[in-house]
Amino acid sequence: MAGNTKKKSKAKKKLQPADIQGCKYFKLIPELLQSLHNVGTKRDTAGNRKFFFDQYVALQLLYFFSPVVTSLNGLREATDLKKVQKLLGIKRVSMGTLSESATVFDAEPLREIIQNLAQKAAPLHSGREADVLQNLTAVDGSILSVLPRMAWALWKDETHRGLHLHFDVFAGVPRQATVTKAACSETAELKATLESNRLYVTDRGYQDQSLFQEIIDADSSFISRVKDNITYEVQKECAITEEAKAADVVRDVVLSSIGSSHRKRFLQQPVRLVVVQATKKDGTPYEI
DSSP for 25-40, written as a single string: GGGSHHHHHGGGTTTT
Instruction: Confirm whether pTM is higher than 0.85.
Output: no
pLDDT over 70 (residue 223): yes
Q: Which residue did the predictor score with more confidence, 183 or 24? A: 24
Cα distance between residue 173 and residue 137, in whole Å: 10
- What is the spatial distance between Cα 224 and Cα 258, in angstroms, rounded to a whole number? 13
- Asked if pLDDT for residue 199 goes beyond 90, the answer is yes
The whole-angstrom separation of Cα 196 and Cα 159 is: 35
Residue 256's pLDDT is what?
87
Calculate mean pLDDT across residues 50-75: 89
Please determine, for residue 177, whether its predicted confidence score (pLDDT) is greater than 50. Answer: yes
Question: CA 68, 96, 164: angle at the middle one, nearest 5?
Answer: 60
Residue 1 has pLDDT above 50, yes or no: no
231 has pLDDT over 90? no
Q: What is the mean pLDDT of residues 261-267?
A: 65
**CB contact at 8 A, 61 and 85:** no
What proportion of the chain, given as a percentage, has pLDDT over 90? 28
Question: Tens digits of per-residue pLDDT, 79-112?
Answer: 999 999 998 889 999 999 888 887 888 888 888 8
Give 156's pLDDT tier (boundaries 50, 70, 90): very low
Domains, the chain, ranges and CATH? 17-104 (no CATH), 110-225 (3.30.420), 226-288 (no CATH)
Distance CA 201, CA 224 (A): 6
Looking at residues 256-267, what average pLDDT do you find? 70
* pLDDT at position 40 over 50: yes
> Of 209, 207, 121, 213, which is closest to residue 172 (Cα–Cα)?
121
